[in-house]
Homo-oligomer: A and B are copies of this chain.
Amino acid sequence: MDCSVAQALEVVGEWWTLLIVREFFAPRNKHRFEEIHEDLGIARNILTVRLQNLLEHGVIERRLYQEHPPRYEYHLTRKGRDLLPVVLSLLAWGDRWADHESGPPVELRHTSCDHRFTPVLTCSHCGEKIEDQTVEASYRRSPAP
């Protein structure tokens, strides 16, 4: 499907995958198989397959942290860290629309300005917030039949 959303979901659209990606970001900072397995309660065989898929797509990379026997940690690559807007947008949507008994569970702080924040999607040209009424999307060429 000639659509970047579809192509993105080819990589991260499988159930569990974005939750695994989310483990690598703060405040979870989980990088080892056992940690992720425990934190998510995901079956070991599914976690193995999902990590392998993320490795193949260059979203994460392995780093040796113990030599005998060899043990690896998983870390996001540049391509993986670029998923931050996807994860933060999901977080913001869940914060706004999910039922939380006592408010959103996670608090975000922007270290550059040292303030709590919510993520806002803006226009790269004028800097204003993007609303659905102010976006036009058009095909640069005809979509594949």
Interface residues of chain A, those whose CB is within 8 Å of chain B, are 1-15, 18-19, 22, 25-27, 40, 76, 79, 81-98, 100, 102-113, 115-128, 130-141, 143
Contacts and interface: CB of A to CB of B under 8 A. Distances in A.
Contact of A105 (B100, B105, B140): B140
Contact of A112 (B91, B134, B141): B134
A91 B125 contact: no
Contacts of A106: 3-4, 137-140
Chain A interface main SS type: mixed
Given A18-B9, A85-B92, A137-B27, A127 B127 contact: yes
A106 to B, nearest CB: 5
A105 B2 contact: yes
Contact of A107 (B1, B7, B138): B138
